[in-house]
Amino acid sequence: MKQLKNGKEIKGKSKGGQMAQKLIDSKKTAELLGCSYRKIMKMIHSGEIPAIKVGDSFRIEPSEIEKYKNKNQFQPEKEEG
């Protein structure tokens, strides 16, 4: 496993022969979402953010982080009139 500056990368092949996506560790995920590591772990265990367990730690696909951000983005109500 090669450690990157902004997370951890796991290289390999997925079904269909495509390269696996870079996976981000839970500490980097917390930084990206602006919350605590503890909050990320609660979100992983509750199923709010899907994660992959690798040994004793968890990894999150960047697409799942983006889905979470988009789903929880604040949209102010439009004023009528």
Task: Please give the Cα distance from 9 to 59 (Å, whole number).
Answer: 9
Within 8 A by CB and 6+ apart from 44, the residues are 26, 51, 58, 60
Of 69, 67, 57, 1, the closest CA to residue 33 belongs to 69
> What is the span of the domain harbouring residue 37?
2-14+23-70
Does residue 6 lie within any of the structural domains? yes
Tokens of 76: 């102010």
Q: Which residue has the higher pLDDT, 75 or 55?
A: 55
- Mean of the pLDDT values across residues 55-62? 95
CATH of the domain at 57: 1.10.1660
Average pLDDT over residues 41-63: 96
User: For residue 15, is pLDDT > 50?
Assistant: no
Residue 64 inside a domain? The answer is yes
75 part of a folded domain:
no
Is pLDDT of 61 > 60?
A: yes
6, pLDDT greater than 60: no
In-domain check, residue 77: no
